[in-house]
Amino acid sequence: MSDEKYNKLIESIELDDIELYSLECWKNKNFPPKKRTSIQIGLKSNKKETYLEQTDLNVQFGFEITAFSDEVDDPKNREDIPNKEILFNIKFILELNYILDLDDVDDILIDYKDEIDRFVENNVPVNAWPYAREIISSVTTRMGFPSLVIPTYKHIGFF
Cα–Cα distance, 96 to 119 (Å, whole number): 12
Q: Is the pLDDT of residue 148 over 90?
A: yes
Predicted local distance difference test score (pLDDT) of residue 102: 75
What structural domains and CATH numbers belong to the chain? 3-142 (3.10.420.10)
pLDDT digits (tens, 9 = 90+) for 26-81: 999 999 999 888 899 999 999 999 998 888 999 999 999 999 999 998 888 888 99
pTM, rounded to two decimals: 0.88
Q: 17 φ, ψ to 5°?
A: -165, 150
pLDDT digits (tens, 9 = 90+) for 59-72: 999 999 999 999 99
Q: Give yes or no for a contact between 44 and 64, defined as CB atoms under 8 angstroms apart.
A: yes
Q: Is the pLDDT of residue 149 over 90?
A: yes
pLDDT digits (tens, 9 = 90+) for 82-121: 999 999 999 999 999 999 987 766 666 677 889 999 999 9
